[in-house]
Structure 1
Amino acid sequence: MTRATHELIDARPGLARLLDVLDGEGEEARIVGGAVRDWLVGRGARGDVDIATTATPDEVTRRAKAAGFKAIPTGIEHGTVTVIAEGLPYEVTTLRQDVETDGRRAQVAFGRDWRADAARRDFTMNALYLTRDGELIDFTGGEADARAGRVRFIGDADRRIAEDYLRILRLFRFHAGYGHGPVDPEALAAAVRGRDGLARLSRERVRAELLKLLTASRAAETLAEMDAAGLLAPVLGEPGDVATFARLAALEAALGLAPDAVRRLGALGVREEADAVALAETLRLSRAEAARLVALAGPAPTPGMCEKGQKAFLYRMGRERFTDRALIAFARSGAAVDDAGWRALIDIARDWPIPRFPLKAADFLARGLTPGPALGAAMKRAEEAWIEAGFPQRDALDPLVATVLADDR
């Protein structure tokens, strides 16, 4: 085996055995797609490893079980069996040809022609195969494209897009993650011509591709190209604020923060709560994602607030929401990345240990209150007074509580 194959196999103890099981006795099996592409561009073997094979799904299942692996028919209608080998999953898919497509899904026929299997894939860099002996098989020029950062459709771009309109978004997602320079002109022109097909896609599929795009390394530049081509608004359901998105991405990088898809989506399309609600519906976000997006629409902390006010804001909102709103407000302010006031605000969000309200119901019951609405109201007023006083320790709370209770009498 070459070093290339060893790099892919070393981190996955079961992969060599699985290839041995599938490759032989009249059948061939090769690593395909993203794992090969990522190895070529120096990204190692961090993601999933997919396998293409001439064996039918039934034969894949038989061989896997005979070897002691678990086989799950996760996409059997498209020829995919997920094999669990030594604790790790591998999608094993029989070579295919598209029989019929409608822009959303394809009917496929199984085959044994590697070149035909490559021709039905989307981009040249995704149609690369690696044998268990380390031989790179490239029918479409994908190696050169991957190394050069060219995201190029296989064959006729219009036809590839008409087969599945999600490929418009995949074009921009892969360009944002792997491309150099502008989007391939032929691919971009075909995407513009096929833009009406975006409306035919399920919102769940659009969401999945868009959230991946938003966190890619060149997301800002790519979104600007999408916007200029008139392809961003049809995806979001409204025009996007690409300038704020770009500044937020720069801030995250400068502050050492991981790219965050929901926060970036908020920068791109949320000014008011109604924007968040509409965007969550358009993209069919999860409940957690939608709630977080809505939370981005409220007032934001600013450097103009005193430190006491900033901490009160942080206590009430929690660290995640405070950080989200502060970063987006920072981006929209146009202030320099190293602005001292905004950086101090972000530091508070990161470093200040948010205290817990030190009083419990028992403390108020011991002072003569009885269970019921009045108890809850007194506790809430006491908490607000504690915040206003600057979060004093428990031993300094007696006067504060006495004042609250005196107001009740």
Structure 2
Amino acid sequence: MPSPSVLDIPELRRLLAVLDGDGEEARVVGGAVRNALLGLPHGDVDVATTALPAEVTRRAEAAGFRALPTGVEHGTVTVLVDHHPFEVTTLREDVETDGRRAVVAFGRDFSHDAQRRDFTINALYARPDGEVVDHVGGLADLALRRVRFIGDAETRIREDYLRILRLFRFTAEYGEGPLDPEALRASIRLRAGLARLSSERVRAELMKLLATRRAPELARILAECGFLDRILGLAPDPHAMAAAASAGADPVLRLAALAVRVREDAGLLAQRLRLSNQEAERLDACAALLEALHGRVASLSVQDWRALAYRRGAGPARDALAVLAARETGEARPDALRPAFAALAEPVPVRPWTGRAVLAHGVPAGPRVGAILARAEELWIAAGFPDDPGQRDAMLAQALAEG
């Protein structure tokens, strides 16, 4: 392992000192080892051990750590060392799989544990002294930036069909060059298995994929090979997603460009993928604006776009603009969108009055205050959000006079 690396985390060193020895062995495994070798942030740290969960718990608590049985039926105990969580899992071998979950038996052989993992680059182990142990050729694949299933690709996929999406995600995040041919052929043959997965698992993997650096390229392959329409239930537009990717690694915006045209699309995706409330609301707000703008884009001025951002919010307006610019079809030509880019480059105006301004003119508290404020706001928007105090006073006076 390089130095410094994940093994230099003091809390991890303390945990390994407790778990490694007295007849048991513990190693860091998976993504933390892979990322350390690539010089990337390590993220979560997983530990594989020959010790059974009860023994892991006993040793952890004897050392003053907190042990939580977060997945004890699968051999996983989360150990908190000074509030730093580490997932510690007993070595396993698959007894039975159904494409979604596995029945496992605990073991003591690290090479057998490696064989049940998905990709070679995810099956690297690091001993406490820093030696990296590779049972499946992961180091060579890591050097080539190649994402390859361990053993037979079809066998690995049949164990868990989510591995199809993980193939694309890991290739997009860590791979260089084309997808592994054998893995791609197996994924295409078994793509119907995606329907057996829970929406929550598919959503988590898809959103991670959409945030990767090679997401546009891999989304195009997913669409061409018939995966995306099965996942989304909508006709995908990978070219638009690729154009929207220039706005940054924003998975929600990329999803909008990929598949959202009207509010019905946003609602379908929210239900089908079990999106979070925040993600669903953002897609819906973007879709609502896309619907409202249909057939009107070419006629909108800078002032119209500023009013739109003020009324609908800067976030939805920028999302809708990014999707329109990505598609560049019909009315959404680059020249038609120049007023929008000019308007949204400016800060969204803030209403200059509150209810106190109306109350100060002797209007009693009640619904009339809100009505007067709304009328003054209409005048202010129509005038182009003037900053001049005199103009603003005149608008409020007019609203008060109209009652």
The answer, yes or no, to whether TM exceeds 0.5 is yes
8 Å CA contact retained: 2:305, 2:339? no
8 Å CA contact retained: 1:97, 1:116? yes
Alignment match, 1:233: 229
Which is worse superposed, 219-228 or 352-361?
A: 352-361
> Where do residues 182-331 of structure 1 align in structure 2 (5 Å cutoff)?
182-249=178-245, 251-252=246-247, 257=248, 259-299=249-289, 305-331=300-326
1:234 CA displacement:
0.6
2:378 alignment partner, one of 356, 360, 384? 384
3-state SS in 1 of match to 2:289: coil
Alignment match, 2:164: 168
Q: Determine the C-alpha separation between the residues in 2 that align with 1:303 and 1:75.
A: 56
3-state SS in 2 of match to 1:182: coil
Q: Determine the C-alpha separation between the residues in 2 that align with 1:340 and 1:139.
A: 57
3-state SS in 2 of match to 1:297: helix
| Structure 1 residues 124-168: Cα deviation after superposition (integer angstroms, max 9, x where no partner) | 111111111111111111111122121111111111111111111
> Which residue identity does 1:49 align to in structure 2?
V
1:26 alignment partner, one of 15, 23, 26? 23
| Structure 1 residues 344-379: Cα deviation after superposition (integer angstroms, max 9, x where no partner) | 8557535x3333212122322343544443332222
Q: Determine the C-alpha separation between the residues in 1 that align with 2:174 and 2:17.
A: 31
8 Å CA contact retained: 2:303, 2:343? no
Q: Determine the C-alpha separation between the residues in 1 that align with 2:258 and 2:116.
A: 34
2:55 alignment partner, one of 38, 54, 59? 59
3-state SS in 2 of match to 1:397: helix
> Which residue identity does 1:264 align to in structure 2?
R
8 Å CA contact retained: 1:95, 1:113? yes
1:124 alignment partner, one of 120, 127, 151? 120
| Structure 1 residues 194-217: Cα deviation after superposition (integer angstroms, max 9, x where no partner) | 111111111000000000000111
3-state SS in 1 of match to 2:125: strand
3-state SS in 2 of match to 1:292: helix
1:365 aligns to 2:335 (yes or no): no
8 Å CA contact retained: 1:303, 1:345? no
| Structure 1 residues 263-322: Cα deviation after superposition (integer angstroms, max 9, x where no partner) | 111111100000000011110111111111111113368697433333222222223222
8 Å CA contact retained: 2:123, 2:134? yes
Alignment match, 1:150: 146
8 Å CA contact retained: 1:28, 1:55? yes
Structure 2 gap segments, 5+ residues each: none
1:332 CA displacement:
1.4
8 Å CA contact retained: 2:289, 2:317? no
CA, structure 1 residues 6+344, in 2 after alignment: closer, same or farther (shift >3 Å)? farther
| Structure 1 residues 99-124: Cα deviation after superposition (integer angstroms, max 9, x where no partner) | 11111111111110111100000111
1:342 CA displacement:
5.7
8 Å CA contact retained: 1:5, 1:132? no
Which is worse superposed, 25-34 or 319-328?
A: 319-328
| Structure 1 residues 167-206: Cα deviation after superposition (integer angstroms, max 9, x where no partner) | 1111111111111122111111111111111111110000
1:401 CA displacement:
1.8
Q: Determine the C-alpha separation between the residues in 1 that align with 2:137 and 2:52.
A: 27
> Where do residues 103-118 of structure 1 align in structure 2 (5 Å cutoff)?
103-118=99-114
Alignment match, 1:14: 11
Structure 1 gap segments, 5+ residues each: none
CA RMSD of aligned residues (A): 2.2
> Which residue identity does 1:356 align to in structure 2?
V
> Which residue identity does 2:7 align to in structure 1?
I
Q: Among the aligned pairs, what percent are the same residue?
A: 53
> Which residue identity does 1:30 align to in structure 2?
R
1:334 CA displacement:
6.8
Which is worse superposed, 340-349 or 237-246?
A: 340-349
8 Å CA contact retained: 1:104, 1:164? yes
